[in-house]
Amino acid sequence: MALSPKARPYLLVTALVLAVVGVLVAKMPAETGRPVAVPPTSTPPVVNEVGGDGAGDPYYPQDGNSGYDVGGYDVSISYDPATRHLDGKARVTAVATADLSRFNLDLYQLEVSDVTVGEEKAAFTREGDHELVITPAQPLRRDQQFVVTVTYAGEPTVVEDRALGRSGWQISSSGGAFAAGEPHSATTWFPANDTPRDKATFKLAARVPDGWSAISNGVEEGTSSEAGWTTFRWNAPQPMATYLATVAIDKWTFDRSALADGTPVVSAYAPGALDARDDHRRLPEVLEFLSGKFGPYPFQAAGGIFIADNIGFSLETQTRPIYAQWADLDTIVHENAHMWFGDSVSLRSWADICLNECFASYAQWLWDEGKGGANLDDRFRSEVDRTRNRDAYWGRKLYDMGRGNEFKGVYDKGQLAMHALRRQVGDESFFKALQTWTAQHRDGNASWPEFEAHVEQVSGQDLDAFFAAWFRGAELPSSDDVLYPGSLRR
């Protein structure tokens, strides 16, 4: 995510396993204390386990759910911009990671009318502002694949967060709508296991009145029309964190092309956003440049969604970022760097946000160096001199910064820290570490401590003091050897 220039300164699974070993299983009745032989043909009873209403992130303990792992979402929506009403049906394919008598999905405010698990109707209730609690007709066995289908409707809305602002379903100035936000967005328009830890494939069929069109993540799979409505189909076949899923509905102008290797590029411009075309025509050049730094482009589609609204951020929605009206070429570089750092390799916990934003922000420096000849050492020293006496600047931690502080230091202090790391280990080790990191964790999740260990392994250096000062610390590094490593030494 890139913040607008104006906004920048403000900113388990629990498993119980029933062992059945050998011919007999001994049970101890409470009333006698005597073992009772269970015939070998008997079926072990299902543990009455309930999936938890949280996936374990310490900053957002009720985000996501435990007890299952989602493999894919297949979502169909019908949306009328005139009434702002949405009808939806979502098929969620998952595997139980425990014996479950019930489990949760996350869905914000929309009304649910029907739930099935497999072919059978399931009971459901709502708890809190986003928990959909589902009780299947038959308990689920550990390792059992199942499909839950949820039918829902209503007027989607935004999630308000005092520290992080607005996210989710937003109405555009043209009367259309778009879904974007971090860390919450998806569950304002479809039910999901809303945690980056549970990445899944995503398919969307979006039905809108003729004259409107819909764009989403992944590969374009055609349209169909009937009775004054058109359905647009999109398919993201590589795992995706839920907050990176999007749909945007407007009277789009589409541009379609391809990268040199044939990867399809689809971009959409809202009325009033066509000026963004000049910068975005350089997307193939941007992706080629970033591939040279980070490794091969990790997805089967590319493009962008350009709205005509001055929201406070642009966002790296997977394969097709959403750009606010203020977005420029630097923003395009930033959001597409996220295709490697944040999208393909996703954070494990929100404390790891530097894995996303520090790298994407430093990519802007790399672009300026590679395309504009910028001297990054001079830029680094100038920025340190400018901020040396600003405790508020250096007091922002880059790792485990605390809930609500995720986006306060990663865009500017993060650039300095990344350049210092590059000079500490040298270019060969730095870029080797980045490329092997994106290759090893492709389509998965990782943590900041894992990255620290990875760079130490690649470089052969003990970097504990360096990481403690630059990424875990909340003050200007006190040692000149740490503050000005390598060619940065005066």
Q: Do 255 and 210 contact (CB within 8 A), yes or no? A: no
The two counts, helices (H) then strands (E), for the chain are 11, 26
Q: What is the pLDDT of residue 5?
A: 59
Do the beta carbons of residue 147 and residue 136 sit within 8 Å?
no
Give the helix ranges, DSSP H, for 141-216: none
Rounded CA-CA distance 181/125 in Å is 26
CATH topology for 350-488 is Neutral Protease; domain 2 (1.10.390)
CATH architecture of 47-156+176-242: Sandwich (2.60)
Judged by DSSP in three states, 159 sits in: strand
* Domain ranges for the chain: 47-156+176-242, 252-344, 350-488
When computed from its CA atoms, the radius of gyration of the chain, rounded to whole angstroms, is: 24
Q: Are 333 and 286 in contact (CB under 8 A)?
A: yes
Residues 135 and 178 sit within 8 Å (Cβ to Cβ): no
Are the beta carbons of 157 and 189 closer than 8 angstroms? Answer: no
pLDDT of residue 166: 83
| The predicted structure's pLDDT at residue 54 | 82
The CA distance from 326 to 308, in Å, is: 9
SS3 30: coil
What pLDDT does 258 receive? 97
Dist CA 253 CA 274 (whole Å): 8
Which architecture does CATH list for 252-344? Answer: Orthogonal Bundle (1.10)
Look-up: residue for tokens 């992080």? Answer: 164
CA nearest to 410, candidates 81, 235, 182, 139: 182
Question: What sign does the dihedral 136-137-139-145 (CA atoms) show?
Answer: negative
Q: pLDDT by residue for the chain (490 residues), tens digit each?
A: 887 654 554 343 333 222 322 322 333 333 333 333 334 444 444 455 777 778 889 999 989 999 999 999 999 999 999 999 999 999 999 999 999 999 999 999 999 999 999 999 999 999 988 999 999 999 999 999 999 999 999 999 998 887 677 889 999 999 999 999 998 899 999 999 999 999 999 999 999 999 999 999 999 999 999 999 999 999 999 999 999 999 999 999 999 999 999 999 999 999 999 999 999 999 999 999 999 999 999 999 999 999 999 999 999 999 999 999 999 999 999 999 999 999 999 999 999 999 999 999 999 999 999 999 999 999 999 999 999 999 999 999 999 999 999 999 999 999 999 999 999 999 999 999 999 999 999 999 999 999 999 999 999 999 999 999 999 999 999 999 999 999 999 7
C-beta atoms surrounding 258 within 10 Å: 12
**CB distance 237 to 201 below 8 Å:** yes
Q: Pairing between strand 247-250 and 165-171?
A: unpaired
Q: Considering only CA atoms, which of 389, 434, 433, 383 is closest in space to residue 413?
A: 383
- Does the fold of domain 350-488 match that of domain 252-344? yes
Given this model, what pLDDT does residue 163 score?
67
From the number of C-beta atoms within 10 Å of its C-beta (0-12, 13-18, 19+), residue 285 rates as exposed
| Contact status, residue 395 vs residue 413, Cβ threshold 8 Å | no
Q: How is 254-297 classified by DSSP, letter by letter?
A: EEEEE-TT--EEEEEE-TT-GGGHHHHTTHHHHHHHHHHHH-S-
Residues shown for the chain: 490
Which has the closest alpha carbon to 136: 173, 81, 94, 107? 94
| Pairing, β 322-323 against β 302-306 | parallel
- Dist CA 202 CA 243 (whole Å): 12
